[in-house]
Amino acid sequence: MDCNNELLNDIEYLRKTLSEVATQIGATVIKDSFYQFTPQGVSGVVIIAESHLSIHTWPEFNYAAVDVFTCGEVIKPVDAVKPLTEKLRAKNTKYVELDRGILTENKVEVS
């Protein structure tokens, strides 16, 4: 939150930033896709071998929502928080860590 609104509307900067952060946390970048909205805002995803990073921006509110989703035990999504905070020049950052996927302890039988 309270990100630099010019950076949040710069599609190439965001593409480069998400790819660099993915590599920095040890992920293998496969492909990306980004879209520039009119009059402002960007949505994008970087596909990594381990899953994905995505971003949706609202420059008018100086706000970006970022998801870092990985599978396995090697890459930790929380490791992306600091570099993303710095690169988006965020003054306030909130993050939530969720376990997703096949969790055997929460398994539900469906018939």
Q: What is d(CA 8, CA 3) in angstroms, rounded to the nearest whole number?
A: 7
A 10 A CB-CB count for 76 gives 13
For the beta carbon of residue 101, count every other beta carbon within 10 angstroms.
8
**Catalytic residue set:** 51, 56, 71
User: What amino acid is encoded at 107 in this protein?
Assistant: K
Structure tokens at 39: 């009059």
